[in-house]
């Protein structure tokens, strides 16, 4: 299911109707909070309503839309709509999501909205990971796993191991389920208790409460309670001995 996003429109009334029609037809998951033509009112409404995306006509009778962007560009994603391109370089300075020229082309508008949605999703995932880090520091045992279509919360004690898969990370849980998270192994390593989780290899982090024994025959392997074996890199052996408090 698509996440519900909030949008606000700062636009002249003539163009407003057409924009609303396209958004309602192609992006039903976006909740339109309202619109205004007044630049000063827009700033107050955006701060109060906290939309994820703002569709902004850059030249309005009440003033220039950059009055809004300069003060609020860090708080939401702006999609500029304009009759002129003279503000394009200034828009880049303020990390504007898209700069669309009138008359609007459907493909350009769809691309801009999808780009804004992607930025919102990344921002939400980053916030959850930061919250997960703060929770760990406070002793909580929940970890947020962002994936392509959702964010799952799992208890750290149920993790058997983490495995790097390129820029992503594969989790094996004690119940047998496998989860793929859209963050790399190093980011998750920072969120795990170093007294319980050990990085045995550049590709693996293991929960030692899930280890049955260490097989030193023909190399070093951790034999897990679930029946799998995880390799221990030679360069990790001294660190492993320190982790296990073996001299």
pLDDT digits (tens, 9 = 90+) for 32-48: 998 898 888 999 999 99
- Of 125, 156, 185, which marks where a domain is finished? 125
pLDDT in the model for residue 182: 93
Distance CA 105, CA 97 (A): 16
Average pLDDT over residues 23-28: 91
pLDDT in the model for residue 139: 46
| Confidence (pTM) | 0.53
Average pLDDT over residues 154-171: 95
User: Is the pLDDT assigned to residue 205 strictly greater than 90?
Assistant: yes
pLDDT, tens digit (0-9, with 9 covering 90-100), for 170-188: 999 999 999 999 999 999 9
Sheet containing 221-224, strands listed edge to edge, beginning at the edge strand earlier in sequence: 211-215, 221-224, 229-231
What CATH number does the domain containing 73 carry?
Answer: 3.40.50.2300
Structural domain span for residue 201: 141-243
User: Is the pLDDT assigned to residue 1 strictly greater than 50?
Assistant: no
What CATH number does the domain containing 218 carry?
Answer: 2.40.50.1020
Residue bearing the bigger pLDDT, 113 or 130 = 113
pLDDT in the model for residue 131: 64
> Do 116 and 51 share a structural domain?
yes
User: Is the pLDDT assigned to residue 2 strictly greater than 60?
Assistant: no
Name the β-bridge partners of 168.
Answer: 165
Residue bearing the bigger pLDDT, 124 or 162 = 162
């Amino acid at each position: 299911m698509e996440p519900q996003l909030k949008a606000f429109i700062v636009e002249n009334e003539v163009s407003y109707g057409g924009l609303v029609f396209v958004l309602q037809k192609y992006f039903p998951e976006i909740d339109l909070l309202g619109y205004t033509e007044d630049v000063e009112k827009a700033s107050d409404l955006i701060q109060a309503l906290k939309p994820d995306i703002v569709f902004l006509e850059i030249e309005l009778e009440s003033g220039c839309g950059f009055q809004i962007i300069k003060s609020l560009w860090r708080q939401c994603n702006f999609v500029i709509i304009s009759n002129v391109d003279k503000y394009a370089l200034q828009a880049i300075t303020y990390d504007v999501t898209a700069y669309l020229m009138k008359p609007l082309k459907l493909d350009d508008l769809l691309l801009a909205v999808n780009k804004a949605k992607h930025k919102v999703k990344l921002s939400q995932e980053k916030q959850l990971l930061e919250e997960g880090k703060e929770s760990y520091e406070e002793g909580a045992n929940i970890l947020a796993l962002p994936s392509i279509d959702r964010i799952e919360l799992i208890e750290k004690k149920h993790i058997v191991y983490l495995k790097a898969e390129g820029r992503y990370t594969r989790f094996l849980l004690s119940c047998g389920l496998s989860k793929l998270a859209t963050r790399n192994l190093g980011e998750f390593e920072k969120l795990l208790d170093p007294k319980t989780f050990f990085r045995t290899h550049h590709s693996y982090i293991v929960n030692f409460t899930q280890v049955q024994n260490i097989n030193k025959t023909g190399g070093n392997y951790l034999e897990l309670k679930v029946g799998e074996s995880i390799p221990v890199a030679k360069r990790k052996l001294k660190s492993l001995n320190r982790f296990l408090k073996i001299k």
